[in-house]
């Protein structure tokens, strides 16, 4: 039987806990249809009512399409893959390794969940916080967003992605060791429009938290970090309970005081999220069939997830009334 390992594009994320996922149904939350009250009855016929306004068009449901490429042999080949796929509106997601006995096969995976096109640059990985901040600032001012670190052909590179005319600013802070400290900081940054991209990321010998703000966005982020449930049923209830309140699941995480699941809400909109899970597919071909069948129904991939029972599931989400970052398909712990 083939087992799949997720190799995230964001390398060196620390203190990551294997939390649980939920199994069960999911899907879009239906938008209520408007209705017109009947005219009052009476002995005198009422004049014909004016036509009711046409309902506003429903927001187009976001769908997700996935592709897999054979892994690039070196940095230049990888950049070629990124930009060729990006020109077709496919964004790099993660690398996957499929293991069967002693055999391991890997693929690069890409997702298309909109009409934007992408241009990538690969820069050398920095070795200290100040150099990383300078690199983020310079790239962000040119409209290139940080998209994680990656190892290819024996080299460690940092990915930057450009997808619109906006610019981006970044804040690096010393990673908090406690959940309370993280929530206080993340919510203060979120109130100013900064999205947490990584609670803990190794830069040289220092662990930092990374926050990003786009010049074109009006998002205001709110974070919650409930403790990890002990059963599959409780975890499933937590995922969809939080999603119904507009909180998108980001990742499991462990701080010094406790483990839990990290959720974020964009307070500037009234999105909701629902979650579903399937048994992992065996092999890359069946994996592609599964994720594209789900993506066509509006279910974006989150990734392989270990539930409290120890059973692995492939986790998906669906977003309603959603625009912006939180609607995107991202790798677990990734961009």
Q: State mean pLDDT over 281-302.
A: 93
The full set of domain ranges for the chain reads 65-327
Render pLDDT for 70-82 as a digit per residue (tens, 0 to 9). Answer: 999 999 999 999 9
The radius of gyration of the chain from alpha carbons, rounded to an integer in Å, stands at 22
Phi, psi (rounded to 5 degrees) for 130 = -65, -40
Residue 107's SS3 state is strand
Q: State mean pLDDT over 283-308.
A: 94
Q: State mean pLDDT over 76-97.
A: 96
Tell me the pLDDT band of 34, cut-offs 50, 70 and 90: very low
Q: State mean pLDDT over 106-131.
A: 95
pLDDT higher than threshold 80 for residue 334: no
What's the pLDDT at 12?
Answer: 38
Assess contact for 306 and 21: CB atoms under 8 A: yes
Phi-psi sector, 117: left (phi>0), alpha (psi -120 to 50), beta: beta
pLDDT higher than threshold 70 for residue 1: no
Residue 100's SS3 state is strand
Quote the CA–CA distance of 26 and 272 in Å, as a whole number: 12
Quote the CA–CA distance of 261 and 249 in Å, as a whole number: 7
Phi, psi (rounded to 5 degrees) for 295 = -60, -35
Ranking 1-5, 174-178, 207-211, 276-280 by mean pLDDT, the lowest is 1-5
pLDDT higher than threshold 80 for residue 27: no
The set of residues, in sequence order, having a beta carbon less than 8 Å from that of 198 and lying 6+ positions away, is: 10, 13, 208, 209, 210, 333
pLDDT higher than threshold 80 for residue 297: yes
């Amino acid at each position: 039987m083939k087992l799949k390992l997720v190799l995230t594009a964001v390398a060196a994320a620390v203190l990551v806990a294997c939390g649980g996922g939920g199994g069960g149904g999911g899907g879009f939350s239906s938008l209520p249809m408007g209705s017109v009250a009947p005219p009052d009855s009476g002995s005198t016929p009422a004049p014909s009512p004016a036509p009711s306004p046409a309902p506003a068009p429903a927001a187009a449901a976001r769908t997700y399409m996935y592709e897999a490429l054979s892994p690039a042999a070196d940095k230049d080949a990888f950049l070629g893959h990124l930009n060729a796929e990006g020109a077709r509106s496919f964004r790099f997601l993660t690398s996957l390794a499929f293991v069967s006995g002693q055999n391991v096969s890997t693929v690069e995976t890409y997702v298309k969940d909109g009409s934007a096109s992408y241009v990538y640059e690969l820069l050398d990985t920095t070795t200290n916080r100040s150099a990383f901040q300078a690199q983020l600032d310079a790239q962000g001012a040119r409209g290139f967003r940080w998209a994680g670190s990656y190892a290819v052909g024996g080299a460690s590179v940092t990915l930057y992605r450009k997808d619109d005319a906006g610019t981006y600013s970044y804040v690096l802070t010393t990673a908090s060791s406690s959940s309370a400290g993280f929530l206080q900081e993340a919510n203060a940054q979120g109130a100013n429009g900064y999205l947490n991209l990584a609670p803990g990321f190794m830069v040289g010998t220092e662990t930092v938290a990374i926050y990003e703000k786009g010049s074109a966005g009006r998002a205001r982020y709110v974070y919650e970090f409930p403790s990890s449930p002990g059963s599959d049923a409780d975890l499933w209830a937590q995922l969809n309970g939080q999603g119904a309140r507009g909180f998108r699941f980001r990742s499991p995480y462990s701080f010094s005081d406790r483990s839990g699941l990290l959720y974020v809400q964009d307070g500037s909109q009234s999105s909701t999220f629902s979650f579903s899970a399937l048994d992992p597919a065996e092999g890359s071909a069946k994996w592609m069939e599964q994720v594209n069948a789900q993506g066509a129904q509006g279910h974006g991939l989150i990734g392989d997830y270990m539930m409290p029972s120890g059973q692995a599931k492939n986790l998906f989400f669906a977003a309603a009334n959603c625009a912006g970052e939180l609607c995107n398909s991202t790798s677990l712990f990734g961009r």
